[in-house]
Amino acid sequence: MRAGAPIDRRPLEQQIADIITADGLEPGAAFPSASSLAEQFGVSRPTVTKALEKLETAGVLAGGEDKAGCGPSALCQRERSVCRLPTLTEWAYPLAESLLAEPLPRRWEHCLGVAERARTIALILGQNADLLEAAAVLHDIGYAPKLAKTGFHPLDGARYLREVADADARVINLVAHHSCSWLEADARGLREELEGEFPRESADLNDALCYCDMNTTPDGIPTNPIDRINEITGRYGPDSLIGKFIRRAEPEILGCTSRVFERVAAAKRQPM
Ligand SMILES: [Fe+2]
């Protein structure tokens, strides 16, 4: 890891799974050994082995047999191969990191924090938990200098995902419409472009992403929407375009957040 680089807070198995996308490994390809991964990630081999076993259980890797001629030695290594391509989340993290971590490290921390919030509400997301976490980690990539074209980050980010990254349409649409972006689009005269190019996903998913963003500080720490809105207003100034947008969006942001809280509470009340 580079000195001063943000700490990768994701579980080790997710970091290891990134190798499949980063190295372009196809299903059936041999996967790096536990020893080489232990060296690469600076952890012990038993720790890596546990992470690899989780990837086997998840079906990302296929566990092979012990190498031929290998006895019950501690140095014995199983040969694993790639079983399937990574999930949306496994794909999204390295992409977001490659765009944000270096030019905008604080923004990257924020995106990691928003993704972390997404994991905390997985209970109400069901099959969409992976989709929402992927959209969460990518939601602000439009700020990356090489993507910023219009200066309106939801539109710039969504266009990049569609035109360059060949992303899943649902991820693109969530990024395009995150956190009441249509209100900012209105102020910028871009609402027609935004809504003409990108359909909205379900209200529940848009609420969930807004909740995650508005409950995370610029440094990625959990917060609440009132403090978050005040922080944004203070940072940009109350009379700025963003300052006015966020005040106009406040009732909708608070509505999103309370709807998510209600859904989480209801899910927790359900008998297991
Ligand atoms: Fe954000």
In the reported structure, the alpha carbon of residue 110 is separated from the centroid of ligand 1 by a whole-number distance in angstroms of 7
The pLDDT tens digits of the residues spanning 140-164 come to 999 999 899 999 999 999 999 999 8
Q: Length of the chain in residues, anyone? A: 272
- Both 109 and 71 in one domain: the answer is no
**Spatial distance between the Cα atoms of 156 and 194, rounded to a whole number of angstroms:** 10
In the reported structure, the alpha carbon of residue 31 is separated from the centroid of ligand 1 by a whole-number distance in angstroms of 35
Residue 45 has pLDDT above 90, yes or no: yes
What per-residue confidence (pLDDT) applies to 17? 86
In the reported structure, the alpha carbon of residue 19 is separated from the centroid of ligand 1 by a whole-number distance in angstroms of 26
Query: Region 124-135: what's the mean pLDDT?
Result: 96
What per-residue confidence (pLDDT) applies to 3? 47
Torsion sign, CA atoms 218, 221, 222, 224:
negative
In the reported structure, the alpha carbon of residue 213 is separated from the centroid of ligand 1 by a whole-number distance in angstroms of 5
Single-letter amino acid code for the residue at 266: A
Confidence category of residue 37, pLDDT binned at 50, 70, 90: very high
Higher pLDDT, 132 or 73: 132
Is residue 69 a part of any domain in this protein?
yes
In the reported structure, the alpha carbon of residue 151 is separated from the centroid of ligand 1 by a whole-number distance in angstroms of 15
Examine the fold and report which residue of 82, 106, 125 is the final residue of a domain before the chain moves on. Answer: 82
The pLDDT tens digits of the residues spanning 174-226 come to 999 999 999 999 999 999 999 999 999 999 999 999 999 999 999 999 999 99
The upper half-sphere exposure of residue 3, i.e. CA atoms within 13 Å in the direction of its Cβ, equals 0
**Spatial distance between the Cα atoms of 225 and 214, rounded to a whole number of angstroms:** 5
Residue 77 has pLDDT above 70, yes or no: no
**Spatial distance between the Cα atoms of 20 and 29, rounded to a whole number of angstroms:** 9
Residue 126 has pLDDT above 50, yes or no: yes
Residue whose C-alpha is closest to residue 8's, from 131, 130, 122, 96:
96
Residue 69 has pLDDT above 70, yes or no: no
Is residue 123 a part of any domain in this protein?
yes
Read off φ and ψ for residue 267, nearest 5 degrees.
Answer: -65, -35
Is residue 6 a part of any domain in this protein?
no
Confidence category of residue 1, pLDDT binned at 50, 70, 90: very low
Examine the fold and report which residue of 35, 54, 82 is the final residue of a domain before the chain moves on. Answer: 82
In the reported structure, the alpha carbon of residue 112 is separated from the centroid of ligand 1 by a whole-number distance in angstroms of 10
Is residue 7 a part of any domain in this protein?
no
Query: Region 38-63: what's the mean pLDDT?
Result: 92
In the reported structure, the alpha carbon of residue 11 is separated from the centroid of ligand 1 by a whole-number distance in angstroms of 22
Examine the fold and report which residue of 62, 82, 102 is the final residue of a domain before the chain moves on. Answer: 82
**Domain coverage including residue 264:** 88-269
- Beta-bridge partners for 78: 66
Q: To the nearest whole number, what is the mean pLDDT of the chain?
A: 90
What per-residue confidence (pLDDT) applies to 98? 85
In the reported structure, the alpha carbon of residue 192 is separated from the centroid of ligand 1 by a whole-number distance in angstroms of 22
Residue 35 has pLDDT above 50, yes or no: yes
CATH number of the domain bearing residue 78:
1.10.10.10
- Both 257 and 142 in one domain: the answer is yes
Query: Region 96-104: what's the mean pLDDT?
Result: 92
In the reported structure, the alpha carbon of residue 50 is separated from the centroid of ligand 1 by a whole-number distance in angstroms of 33
Is residue 127 a part of any domain in this protein?
yes
Higher pLDDT, 116 or 85: 116
Q: Which H/E stretch holds residue 61?
A: strand 61-66
Residue 48 has pLDDT above 50, yes or no: yes
- Both 117 and 45 in one domain: the answer is no
What per-residue confidence (pLDDT) applies to 72? 47
What per-residue confidence (pLDDT) applies to 262? 96
Is residue 142 a part of any domain in this protein?
yes
Range of weakest confidence among 70-79, 113-122, 190-199:
70-79
- 106's CB contacts (< 8 A; 6+ apart) are 218, 219
- Both 46 and 170 in one domain: the answer is no
In the reported structure, the alpha carbon of residue 139 is separated from the centroid of ligand 1 by a whole-number distance in angstroms of 6
- Both 108 and 67 in one domain: the answer is no
- Both 19 and 127 in one domain: the answer is no
Confidence category of residue 117, pLDDT binned at 50, 70, 90: very high
In the reported structure, the alpha carbon of residue 186 is separated from the centroid of ligand 1 by a whole-number distance in angstroms of 18
Angle at 261 between CA 106 and CA 225, to 5 degrees: 40
Q: Could you give the angle at which helices 225-236 and 203-214 cross, rounded to 10 degrees?
A: 70
Query: Region 108-134: what's the mean pLDDT?
Result: 96
In the reported structure, the alpha carbon of residue 88 is separated from the centroid of ligand 1 by a whole-number distance in angstroms of 19
What per-residue confidence (pLDDT) applies to 67? 54
Is residue 128 a part of any domain in this protein?
yes
Q: Write the DSSP symbol of residue 25.
A: P
In the reported structure, the alpha carbon of residue 59 is separated from the centroid of ligand 1 by a whole-number distance in angstroms of 32
- 53's CB contacts (< 8 A; 6+ apart) are 63
Q: Write the DSSP symbol of residue 26.
A: P
In the reported structure, the alpha carbon of residue 17 is separated from the centroid of ligand 1 by a whole-number distance in angstroms of 25
**Spatial distance between the Cα atoms of 140 and 213, rounded to a whole number of angstroms:** 10
What per-residue confidence (pLDDT) applies to 2? 44
- Both 16 and 150 in one domain: the answer is no
Is residue 197 a part of any domain in this protein?
yes
In the reported structure, the alpha carbon of residue 248 is separated from the centroid of ligand 1 by a whole-number distance in angstroms of 17
- Both 71 and 92 in one domain: the answer is no
Structure tokens at 244: 């006015």
In the reported structure, the alpha carbon of residue 272 is separated from the centroid of ligand 1 by a whole-number distance in angstroms of 33
Structure tokens at 218: 């610029």
Q: Provide the number of structural domains found in the chain.
A: 2
Confidence category of residue 90, pLDDT binned at 50, 70, 90: confident
- Both 148 and 239 in one domain: the answer is yes
- Both 223 and 113 in one domain: the answer is yes
- Both 128 and 69 in one domain: the answer is no
**Spatial distance between the Cα atoms of 140 and 158, rounded to a whole number of angstroms:** 10
In the reported structure, the alpha carbon of residue 48 is separated from the centroid of ligand 1 by a whole-number distance in angstroms of 32
Would you call 3 exposed, middle or buried from its count of C-beta atoms within 10 A (0-12, 13-18, 19+)? Answer: exposed
Q: Which H/E stretch holds residue 78?
A: strand 78-82
- Both 41 and 120 in one domain: the answer is no
- The single residue listed with the structure tokens 């899943």 is 168
Alpha-carbon Rg of the chain, whole angstroms? 21
